Structure 1
Amino acid sequence: MKKLIPAFLAVLLFASYQDLCKKLPKKVLNLKAIEKCSGMNVIINANTSSQAEIVYVYKNKRIEAIVVQGTFAIQYLPLISQNISITTESSKIYTDKINDKKAFITRDLYTNEEQIVIVVDQKIPKLIIIHSKNLNEKEAKKAAKEISIKF
């Protein structure tokens, strides 16, 4: 019984993927969601996680937005907490702020793909992962701002 109480409290603190989906916008920049938001809720012993994802498309531009909360988000926190700046001829990797939240950004300079990971909450670990294709850096950051402001 003692193990059930912490597990029950952990479940109360976390939003379900359905709740996370409600916060994700239907449109980002001029890209529209092409499918319904989907996700999963996971409880393993006292560890609780939820993940919601949605895809936005306009012509050749694509954004995949994933909101991760709980145990699944913890793995990213040590990396994002560092100040990083790495530039090679093929990529840029750096930390930045988006809506006053810490972000870890990787950009492939050849394929024009970018991944932005934004820490929304460290206490109840929650982050947003945005993978963009065929958006320039400015557009990708603007999309990240539009999505993360909802959280």
Structure 2
Amino acid sequence: MTDLRRPKVGAIAVVLHESRTILVQRRNPPNAGLWGFPGGHVELGETALDAAARELVEETGVIATPRRYLTNIDAIHHTGDEVAHHFLLAAVLCDYVSGDPVADDDASAAEWVTTQDALSGGREMSPNVARVLRLALAERR
């Protein structure tokens, strides 16, 4: 018997350009209303690197080239004692190519945000955004 309740694989695109990063405000649960990096599900046969770049275009219209994996994140959301959602997210550092973020797909807003503002705690963020952003900044030095 196949267990249909397995973690889902996703990818997030971490784009740095001119002391800014792209963040989106999620439209849908489990992180509706929270700000985070653009991303979504990895499709069958697609690498997480390619998924991060595709999801970036779908959610923001921005084009970037995936460079390398930064880290993996277990995003586990509970409802009471039950696991409601479990995503394994590959955080992908991407090199900016072109475009300005415009919210589309499952993002209700998309913006270039200074890295300082993203780390300041002034917005309600998805878990791990600051940690992943710090990894990306260290990588770019």
Q: TM-score, with normalisation over the residues of structure 1?
A: 0.26
Higher RCO (CA-CA < 8 Å; seq separation 6+): 2
Q: TM-score, with normalisation over the residues of structure 2?
A: 0.28
Pair member with larger Rg: 1
